[in-house]
Structure 1
Amino acid sequence: MTMEERIIELEIKAAYQEDLLQALNNIVSQQQQQIDRLEMTCTLLNERIKSVSNQRQEGENTSNAHEIPPHY
């Protein structure tokens, strides 16, 4: 193998590595966007659960206040 062939082979390998690196970078970027969306969804769901829980507790407190005692 001549020196020129070796250089060409190295240039080809470098080009493939650059393409692979760009593809991996795109995948990581997409995954990060998906993680960000999932974190936002989890935050919203957590807030919704807390809101529903608070409403439920407030509803139980008000319904107990108007309940007739069991001896009537």
Structure 2
Amino acid sequence: MDRDVEERLAHLERSVDDMSDTVARQDREIEKLQRRVEALIAREAERASEGTGGVVVGDERPPHY
């Protein structure tokens, strides 16, 4: 009986370690993505303030055509 409990505990410990590694990796990825989004927002705000921030949607032609 003790051997079965030890095996289950070892399996649970491994699962917790794996999940912890996954959460840590995801946290790093989220931080990286947040920095990218912030950079894109800043860049787009700069373009908008310069008046060059037009966005073409789908098959829409820009106004100068």
Q: Structure 1 length as normaliser, TM-score?
A: 0.69
Q: Could you tell me which runs of 5 or more consecutive residues in structure 2 were left unpaired when the two chains were aligned.
A: 53-65
Q: What percent identity do the matched residue pairs reach?
A: 17
Post-superposition Cα deviations, 1:8-53, rounded to whole Å, max 9, x if no partner, equal 1000100010011000000000001111011101100000000001
Structure 1's consecutive aligned runs of 4 or more residues displaced over 4 angstroms after TM superposition are: none
Q: What pairs up with 1:23-62 in 2 under 5 angstroms?
A: 23-56=18-51
Q: How many residues align?
A: 52
Higher helix share: 1
Partners of 2:3 and 2:49 in 1: how far apart?
A: 69
Alignment partner of 1:16 is 2:32: no
Larger Rg: 1
Q: Could you tell me which runs of 5 or more consecutive residues in structure 1 were left unpaired when the two chains were aligned.
A: 1-5, 58-72
